[in-house]
Amino acid sequence: MENVKGQKNQKWFYTDIVKDHFFRPRNIFRTKEEIERYKADGTGEVGSPACGDVMRIWIKVDKKNDKIIDCKWQTFGCGSAIASTSILSTMVIGMKIEDALKIKPNDIVKELGGLPARKIHCSVLGDKALREALNDYFRKSGQENRIVAQGAKIIDKMLKITDKDIEEAVLEGAKTFEDVQKKTKIGINDKNCIPQVKELIKFYRKKYFRDEK
């Protein structure tokens, strides 16, 4: 439970699942030596220390069955970020790659039993780190044709947030730049992208909701 800065009477309540994965994180790398001994088939990293959250994911793959057989991680960030990455690691172990690629931030939030609105971006980072790790595996194993672009065009160069991510945020109910930023953290560090983000929000609002504003 945390107080929202500037809102004295509002509090965030975390589910027992979130608390469990925060206090007892699964599949986490705790030392540098563990990372050095681990022979990953793919690694992925997203986020920026300047923004507060950095996620790194390492995966091992059963190449014959095209299945993720292990997933390790490190997250530098808040309790929600740690819980999101922890539960994501448990979700993907034993999962076919094609199914792992379909995981969305909402799937992670659902597994956690919910997250405060201001913390949804943590699940977005976990989703992206996993895709980066899988793309790295595809490159290393000569499967470039399977590399999944994180969207048609990267808008926020620091967090690798794309126009597709903005589109999904609008479809989930975001109406303003502030709404999209809460969901994705876009523009926190890469402020040059903000005008383009606002134009894309207008475009998607008009496309899907006939919003002329």
Catalytic residue, candidates 71, 78, 122, 193: 122
The three state secondary structure string of 163-180 is HHHHHHHHHCCCCCHHHH
Known active-site residue 51: yes
Which of 51, 71, 78, 193 is catalytic? The answer is: 51
Which of 172, 162, 160 lies closest to 197 in space, CA to CA?
162
Q: Rounded CA gap, 103 and 107, in Å?
A: 6
What is the C-alpha separation between 132 and 24, in angstroms, rounded?
25
Distance CA 21, CA 27 (A): 10
DSSP assignment letter at 116: -
Concerning whether 71 is annotated as a catalytic residue, the answer is: no
Judged by DSSP in three states, 49 sits in: coil
Tell me how long the chain is.
Answer: 213
Closest CA to 165 of 181, 189, 146: 181
Closest CA to 158 of 134, 191, 123: 191
For residue 140, which of 71, 55, 43 has the smallest C-alpha distance?
43
* Catalytic machinery residues: 51, 122
